[in-house]
Structure 1
Amino acid sequence: MKSSISKVRKATKQPRPRPKPQSTSTSIHVPADMQPQLLRIAQSQRTPFEKRVWTALCQIPRGRVTTYGLLSAYLGSSPRAVGNALRRNPFAPEVPCHRVVATGGALGGFKGSWPKDGEGITITEKKSLLRGEGVRLDDRGRVLGTVWSGFE
């Protein structure tokens, strides 16, 4: 036989609050020209982590670069996991994975390739995209200037 106290507890028990889903577009600042990309990312059938990575890319201003380390720190993940998500970016170059470089300014990988000698067709394309946005590179292909770290 249940006591009247347990009946009252059961009758007044409130449902547990459910966590609110995180938005991929309203809680961060991105340039107006990137808004259509946020919608494409949100509607894609990809993992939540990949969507977070690609959404963060939309914050990086044109003509600036960040590092795998800074991006992974912002996301609370590892640089390798971030690199893997970048490799699977189906929206490149509109969702600008080319704006992520290795620490020290080396270009790192692009389109799933990380060349051992710092050269190759994909790296040539990454250099071209970055130069087209005004990013300066030295004679060894390393990014000159400071990296962007303004993730919100």
Structure 2
Amino acid sequence: MTATTTSEQRVSAASSPTAETTTKSDTKTTDTSTQTQKYLRRISLHPTLTPFRRRVYRALLSVPEGRWTTYSAMATYLNSSARAVGNAMRTNPFAPEVPCHRVLAADRSLGGYKGEWKVSKHLGNGKFRDEKRLRLLDEGVTFDGDGKVDGY
């Protein structure tokens, strides 16, 4: 057997009661789960958050690294409005660990970030939108020639 294992080997080993294999992705999943629990607790205990903002930040924790959602999709999920979701993002006290940078406009453009929303081309992207783009790029999200996120 080689030093590398396939996913089939991991599944087979995992179903064996005596197997004790830990892969790098298993460790990352455990670390992520621990971090998620930590932030869920911080959100629950934060003294100034409204119930709506708590729901928004909890929902954000379910958007995995390298993936994204939209203000509209979040609003639909939370039975709210995209503007209300955006306002919660703007005041996120847990950023970037509670990943508001993973929320985009409905047309897959960056939308706002840290309360800044510059739509006009002559106004430029602004430093916060550049930061949002860099965070997404670091997570593996790709952009098309128009600056919109690839994929659906």
Whether TM exceeds 0.5 here: the answer is yes
User: Does 2:129 align with 1:128?
Assistant: no
Specify every segment of 5 or more residues in structure 2 that has no aligned partner in the other structure, as ranges: 1-31
Pick 1 or 2: higher relative contact order, CA cutoff 8 A, min separation 6. Answer: 1
Partner residue, 1:78: 81
- 2:67 is matched with 64
Q: Where in structure 2 are the equivalents of 1:84-123 lying within 5 Å? A: 84-116=87-119, 117=121, 119-123=125-129
Q: Displacement of 1:115 after TM fit?
A: 1.1
**Does 2:46 match 1:40?**
no
**More helix by percentage:** 2
TM-score (norm 1): 0.73
Q: Which structure 1 residue ranges, 4+ long, deviate > 2 Å from structure 2?
A: none
Q: Which runs of no fewer than 5 residues in structure 1 stay unpaired?
A: 1-30, 147-152
CA distance in 1, matches of 2:81, 2:148: 23
Partner of 1:4: none
SS where residue 92 of structure 2 aligns?
Answer: coil
**Greater mean alpha carbon deviation, residues 32-41 or residues 97-106:** 32-41
Specify which of 49, 52, 60 is matched with residue 49 of structure 1.
Answer: 52
32-41 or 92-101, larger mean C-alpha shift:
32-41
Cα deviation for residue 36 of structure 1 reads 1.1
Name the larger-Rg structure: 1
Is contact 1:127-1:141 (8 Å) kept? no
User: Which AA in structure 2 matches 1:83?
Assistant: G
State the 1:107 CA deviation. 0.6
Superposition deviation, residue 35 in structure 1:
1.7
Root mean square deviation, CA, Å:
1.1
Q: String of CA shifts for 1:101-144, please: whole Å, max 9, x gaps.
A: 00121110000110123511001000000000000012322100
Matches of 1:40 and 1:138 in 2, distance apart? 36
Deviation at 1:62, TM superposition (A): 0.6
Partner AA of 1:137 in structure 2 = F
Which residue identity is paired with 1:131? L
